[in-house]
């Protein structure tokens, strides 16, 4: 079954300063790998690009998971792949798996680093979208960190994105009033009409986000689920209720900053409102992944949870798909189909 295609890899060519560009990456021809006992040979099918990866490219320990991208080393991200050769007892040829893989067309991998993907229930690409890190981040961020309760007002930034679009729907399922913030009329229409958000705010069309938020949240804000970072939090803090929870999930607005941005210190408001700001990474809840995936699959089958994947075709387009995360108009989960 071994493919005769040439193999390719995309490596980090230079540490970007500010926004990553096409020069940040380099595509190289490499040999097809051999596999050893306990390994499988994988053909990449769907490769996820995530805003948080930008942090791994910086100098210094600017990563969440201990992972870092080094110059001349492959970029890695969550990937769905097919087993095309196996010396593993765990996986057979034809199996679909998912894991943190290198940006390679073909690669060998130990079977202990891979999860089996059930091809029967949802499309296999969902293993890196709604049933992958973005979906799980929405789920655990709201359930465990935000601890959302029925009747509360939940504000979600980046509401049309991979994480935000799941978060707004889970908050609706839980009986919350949901306000979504996004950056285009098309996105606002999507989250209001398709995802059932009570009120969408296009932050690029507002003179004062705090005023628009106040109108959209007549009972104040109980939970803020932030995928964006920066000044939005300041506006939210001016409107929070007693015991509000600010869930910091992502920081797409600041990943490219060369210096940490400054803002008004929130501590006074946190005392006054007995409120908290809390960050998390989805892997904190690794032991509960299966339960969460099951619940989200049920919601999906029950028609309560939708998802949109934004597919770009072609291995060589991985760099531009990544860069597009920060500039693009994409709705839902951005990924590359090989």
The residues of the shown chain that bind a copy of itself, judged by CB under 8 A, are: 55, 63-64, 226, 229-230, 233, 248-251, 254, 260-281, 284
Q: How far is the CB of 316 from a copy of itself (least distance, A)?
A: 31
Q: How far is the CB of 265 from a copy of itself (least distance, A)?
A: 5
3-class DSSP state of 281: coil
Judged by beta carbon, residue 84 or residue 270, the one nearer a copy of itself is 270
Q: How far is the CB of 242 from a copy of itself (least distance, A)?
A: 9
Between strands 39-48 and 76-86, the pairing is antiparallel
Give whole-number Cα distances, 103 to 79, 80, 187, 314, in Å: 9, 11, 29, 12
Locus of tokens 């230079």: 14
Judged by beta carbon, residue 107 or residue 251, the one nearer a copy of itself is 251
Judged by beta carbon, residue 229 or residue 319, the one nearer a copy of itself is 229
Judged by beta carbon, residue 221 or residue 275, the one nearer a copy of itself is 275
Q: How far is the CB of 294 from a copy of itself (least distance, A)?
A: 24
Q: How far is the CB of 304 from a copy of itself (least distance, A)?
A: 28
Judged by beta carbon, residue 200 or residue 250, the one nearer a copy of itself is 250
Q: How far is the CB of 19 from a copy of itself (least distance, A)?
A: 17
Task: Read off φ and ψ for residue 171, nearest 5 degrees.
Answer: -65, -35
Closest CA to 82 of 91, 73, 95: 95
- Residue 248's Cβ-count burial label (10 Å; 0-12, 13-18, 19+) is middle
Token code pair at residue 297:
């699959």
Judged by beta carbon, residue 195 or residue 236, the one nearer a copy of itself is 236
- Identify whether the C-beta of residue 35 lies closer than 8 Å to the C-beta of residue 108: yes
Cα separation, 193 vs 189, whole angstroms: 6
């Amino acid at each position: 079954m071994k493919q005769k295609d040439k193999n390719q890899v995309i490596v980090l060519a230079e540490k970007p300063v500010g926004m990553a560009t096409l020069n940040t990456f380099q595509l190289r021809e490499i040999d097809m790998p051999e596999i050893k006992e306990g390994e499988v040979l994988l053909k990449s099918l769907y490769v996820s690009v995530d805003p948080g990866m930008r942090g791994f490219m910086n100098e210094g320990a600017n990563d969440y998971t201990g992972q870092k991208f080094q110059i001349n080393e492959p970029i890695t991200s969550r990937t769905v792949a097919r087993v095309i050769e196996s010396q593993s007892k765990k996986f057979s040829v034809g199996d679909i798996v998912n894991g943190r893989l290198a940006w390679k067309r073909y690669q060998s991998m130990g079977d202990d680093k891979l999860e089996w993907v059930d091809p029967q229930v949802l499309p296999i690409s969902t293993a890196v979208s709604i049933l992958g890190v973005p979906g799980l981040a929405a789920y655990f961020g709201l359930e465990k960190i935000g601890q959302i309760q029925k009747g509360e007002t939940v504000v979600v930034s980046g509401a049309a994105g991979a994480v935000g679009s799941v978060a707004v729907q889970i908050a609706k399922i839980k009986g919350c009033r949901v306000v979504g913030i996004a950056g285009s009329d098309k996105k606002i229409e999507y989250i209001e009409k398709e995802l059932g958000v009570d009120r969408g705010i296009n932050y690029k069309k507002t003179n004062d986000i705090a005023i628009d938020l106040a109108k959209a949240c007549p009972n104040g804000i109980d939970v803020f689920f932030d995928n964006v970072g920066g000044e939005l939090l300041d506006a939210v803090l001016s409107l929070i209720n007693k015991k509000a929870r600010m869930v910091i999930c992502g920081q797409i607005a600041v990943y490219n900053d060369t210096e940490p941005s400054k803002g008004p210190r929130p501590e006074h408001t946190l005392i006054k409102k007995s409120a908290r700001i809390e960050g998390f990474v989805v892997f904190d809840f690794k032991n509960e992944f299966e339960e969460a995936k099951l619940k989200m699959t049920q919601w999906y089958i029950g028609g309560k949870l939708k998802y949109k994947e934004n597919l770009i075709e072609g291995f060589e387009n991985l760099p531009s798909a990544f860069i597009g995360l920060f500039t693009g108009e994409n709705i839902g989960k951005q990924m590359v189909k090989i």
